[in-house]
Structure 1
Amino acid sequence: MGQPILNIAICGGGISGLCLAVALSKYPAIHVEIFEAAERFSEIGAGMLIWSRTHKIIELMGLGTLFTEIIDQSQYTSKQPSSLIFEYRRSDQHEEASQFYQLNGPSACVHRAQFLDILASQLPPGIVHFNSKLESYTLSGSNRCDGIKSVIRQQMFHDLAKQFGDHYLKYVNPVWTGTTAYRALIPVEQLANVSNGEKHMACTNRMVYCGKNKHINTYPIRDGDLAMVNVVASCSDRSKLEEFYPEPWVRDAPQAELLAAFENWEPDVQQLLIRMSKPTHWAIHHLRPLPQFANGRVVLIGDAAHGAAPHLGAGAGQAIEDAYVLSNLLATMSNVSSLHQVLEAYQHVRLTSAIHVLKESYNMGHITEFDGGFGEEMAIVGAEISRQCMWFDQTDPDGENQRALDYLASLLKLEYEPKSEECH
């Protein structure tokens, strides 16, 4: 076997980094190494929603069978267009609420750590370096991804600011969205007999409990052999958008603080909250939409490029799409001289889609908290939820991949076609 034509350093072992490494590892001409700051792979958060668009990519990457093994089969609706994705209720009231909208379509939920495990299981031996923290890079290297607090992004936009002006500095760091969230996993067995001998609806249905400036997402997942309900209870003050939020962004929270935040909400919500005995409190940050993902031989993917609020459940899916498109572009290379065009083609296609999802993720928080310009007209709110989510089921990720390949072909044609001589 000959020497690889391209050496790639992936900085960060999250979902985007491992997906990229797995996808590239099947190409002998590409050598990949992963540098992870922690002593092992780990993921922030618990649950992970997989839209049909993302599920198709997972299958195209050859991971479909392994993926199916970690899904709670009672929640597996990836082939059932009429199945429930989320049920929406108006819940900021003492009395029991009722559903005002039901979002249907193919989808699946998995535990993030389990998904990371199946990715790690597909890596070739000897390519991972733990306890390796990136401090800086040079443009002669090839680096890829390292999360929403990305050191690579910080240096990239500091460098761009020196070249082109200080307006690039606003992209260096993530900004607070004005939202905080309480998170916890509740064992299903604790919710099996909450009212007249019946189990809580969150054990079987994916729920969004909506109220003014607050909402709660729940969905069942499996954590190994344990059936759990993932709960994320969000509180927003969007007048504080982009205000400074001091570290730590994640802390343990007393249960009393959580209960006080939702004290006037419906009984079904209270049954959940009293079982969140040890919630964690998160300050939700996102990135301002970046003007570019690449500079020189350095490219950003995943949260480093488009870290978003969680309200669409699409962050992991976008990271997987990044890895899929970029790996297919890199696989076309016959020599390193075309790397610039490869990264330009990746940016040309993925920038538009990923920034669209980043913006709509923030907007969905407004909508489910009756702060999206639609007031509290439930029928209108439901219609807007449907519109926001339509993109995931009515767009084709493989078509996007083909557009990237076609754009790369056009760039290479321009680069290498003979220049016509001037007539005299």
Structure 2
Amino acid sequence: MDQHVLSVAIVGAGIGGMAAAIPLSRAGCRVTVYEQAKEFRETGAGLHLGPNGSRLLRGWGLGDALEGVAVRPPAMEVRHWKEGRTLVRRPMGQDWDERYGAPYYTVHRADLHRILAEHVDGALIRLDSRITSLENEPDGARLHFADGTTATADVVIGADGINSVVRRYLAPANHVVYSGNSAFRGVAPADALPTVPVDCLLVWPGPEVKLLCCPVRSGREVAFVAVVPDPVRRPASWSARAAVGPLVDMFANWNSDVVGLFDGMADVGCWALVDHEPLERWSSGRITLLGDAAHPVLPHHGQGASQAIEDAVALAHCLAGPADGTGTGPSLRDGPAVAAALRRYEEIRRPHTYSVQTGSRGSGTLRLSSEPQGAGAGQTGQAGDVLGGMIEDVSWIHAYDVTEVLRGATTTTEVSAACS
């Protein structure tokens, strides 16, 4: 074993954990990913990958793989919940490619996870490894697992999501905050919506409930999410399930397109929409956080995956060490050097993720309403105004290029493998 190679333990093999493993491995680190599940299963439904995330994946050489399963929606449509008519249509597709320099994709979470996992070259993935506690020690961070085993690493990254065990070590007083809404999620065949353009992003803002649909799996399927006020605090888990009956009842008086979407379904995913207050720090010694473990975002801007990918690039850049041609330098294994690198990672990422995280509350599609009065979507003109405002609300996020930020922030001459 090379004693001069930085060892990195990533806790969590979801989107964020897999994304972190790619640039860290390419930067020369010895990466091990620990995942509590006994096997990878198809979980979740559709997700949005903004240009700020897709340009990074394309830079890693994953563009062709994405094009094989994802969809570039040509437009976003807002439709009347009762009548089904189109209130407003805004172009996306090539227009957004040109505006932001990279595509806006919709993709099934399982497909994106598979693509990332297939490109984690050189990283070791250990399933059935549930972490129970961890410690900062002078010569490394120590991880303790439920089966009684331990492991050490120069750096530990908590990529274990909203219910992060690693975050509880760093910020034990920080608790998740329930938004008051739950999300029913699922996937249906595209022919379940025979009279609407299923290659588009579709939004039906109802009196209380909002329904969103997006194409996945090369357009063969449609992923949907219904955001509903919910007095019951449900689990915040990708694997949480619910009966489809309450969902059918909820949309019984809606237009026929929506009603037909749920025909033949046995169950759907349903989980609470939660985040937590922005953390004062993400790191302590050799331990840090990434993605939802550090800054969970509500889904209304569609930025959860992209922000985790940005974190991965920034973290790999900060850990890349001296530009001596070998990736990581031996000096970075020292505790003070690791801690300084993680502080730099925080300094670069926290201001941006703070704005994204807090901005996702009460914005995005939550601004759309079925009521004509106020700034709602009950009339075509009002819908266009609100939709246009929604797009401008997130344009700065889509235009953000973390690699440019890192090049401007570096104090040495290196450009890390994460940014090449």
Give the TM bin, normalised by the shorter chain: 0.7 to 0.9
Q: Any residues of structure 2 matched to 1:219-238 within 5 Å, and which?
A: 219-222=214-217, 227-236=220-229
Q: Shift of the alpha carbon at 1:375?
A: 4.8
Equivalent residue number for residue 80 of structure 1: none
Aligned match of 1:150 in 164, 167, 177?
A: 164
Equivalent residue number for residue 183 of structure 2: 181
C-alpha distance in 2, partners of 1:126/1:347?
24
With normalisation by structure 2, the TM-score equals 0.80
CA contact (8 A) 2:235 2:272 kept: no
Query: Which residue identity lines up with residue 87 of structure 2 in the other structure?
Result: Q
C-alpha distance in 2, partners of 1:146/1:17?
8
Q: Secondary structure at the match of 1:299?
A: strand
| Structure 1 residue ranges without an equivalent (≥5) | 78-82, 159-168, 192-198, 410-424
CA contact (8 A) 1:219 1:231 kept: yes
Query: Which residue identity lines up with residue 57 of structure 1 in the other structure?
Result: L
Equivalent residue number for residue 303 of structure 1: 292
Equivalent residue number for residue 14 of structure 1: 14
Query: Which residue identity lines up with residue 58 of structure 1 in the other structure?
Result: L
Equivalent residue number for residue 90 of structure 2: 102
C-alpha distance in 2, partners of 1:378/1:354?
28
Q: Tell me how many residue pairs correspond in the alignment.
A: 371
Q: Any residues of structure 2 matched to 1:59-208 within 5 Å, and which?
A: 59-71=58-70, 75-76=71-72, 83-84=74-75, 86-91=76-81, 93=82, 95-102=83-90, 104=92, 105-106=96-97, 107-124=104-121, 127-140=124-137, 141=141, 142-144=155-157, 145-158=159-172, 169=173, 171=174, 173-191=175-193, 199-208=194-203
Equivalent residue number for residue 204 of structure 2: 209
Equivalent residue number for residue 278 of structure 2: 289
Residue 388 (1) aligns with residue 385 (2): no
CA contact (8 A) 1:329 1:404 kept: no
Equivalent residue number for residue 417 of structure 1: none
Gap change, CA 1:7 and 1:248, over 3 Å in 2: closer
Q: Secondary structure at the match of 2:310?
A: helix
Q: Any residues of structure 2 matched to 1:302-341 within 5 Å, and which?
A: 302-333=291-322, 334=329, 335-336=331-332, 337-341=336-340
Equivalent residue number for residue 32 of structure 1: 31
Query: Which residue identity lines up with residue 87 of structure 1 in the other structure?
Result: E
Gap change, CA 1:52 and 1:236, over 3 Å in 2: same
Gap change, CA 1:248 and 1:57, over 3 Å in 2: closer
Aligned match of 1:245 in 220, 233, 240?
A: 233
Higher alpha-carbon deviation: 98-107 or 14-23? 98-107
CA contact (8 A) 1:214 1:369 kept: no
Equivalent residue number for residue 349 of structure 1: 348
Gap change, CA 1:352 and 1:103, over 3 Å in 2: farther
Instruction: Encode CA deviations 1:208-259: one digit per residue, 9 max, x unaligned.
Output: 1112332111011118xx821111111126xx7xxx8255866443333112
| Structure 2 residue ranges without an equivalent (≥5) | 98-103, 142-154, 323-328, 415-420
C-alpha distance in 2, partners of 1:272/1:26?
43
Q: Secondary structure at the match of 1:135?
A: strand
Residue 268 (1) aligns with residue 273 (2): no
CA contact (8 A) 1:13 1:35 kept: yes
Instruction: Encode CA deviations 1:172-210: one digit per residue, 9 max, x unaligned.
Output: x3221111122121112444xxxxxxx231522221111
C-alpha distance in 1, partners of 2:50/2:169?
33
Q: Secondary structure at the match of 1:322?
A: helix
C-alpha distance in 1, partners of 2:106/2:234?
32
CA contact (8 A) 1:183 1:280 kept: yes
Q: Shift of the alpha carbon at 1:118?
A: 1.9
Gap change, CA 1:281 and 1:393, over 3 Å in 2: closer
Gap change, CA 1:268 and 1:62, over 3 Å in 2: same
CA contact (8 A) 1:54 1:321 kept: yes
Q: Secondary structure at the match of 1:209?
A: strand
Q: Shift of the alpha carbon at 1:300?
A: 0.4
Instruction: Encode CA deviations 1:324-349: one digit per residue, 9 max, x unaligned.
Output: 11112211252124222211121112
CA contact (8 A) 2:36 2:127 kept: yes
Aligned-residue identity in percent: 27
CA contact (8 A) 2:286 2:339 kept: yes
C-alpha distance in 1, partners of 2:412/2:258?
49
CA contact (8 A) 1:186 1:275 kept: no
Gap change, CA 1:247 and 1:55, over 3 Å in 2: closer
Q: Shift of the alpha carbon at 1:316?
A: 0.5
Gap change, CA 1:103 and 1:401, over 3 Å in 2: farther
With normalisation by structure 1, the TM-score equals 0.79
Q: Shift of the alpha carbon at 1:69?
A: 2.8
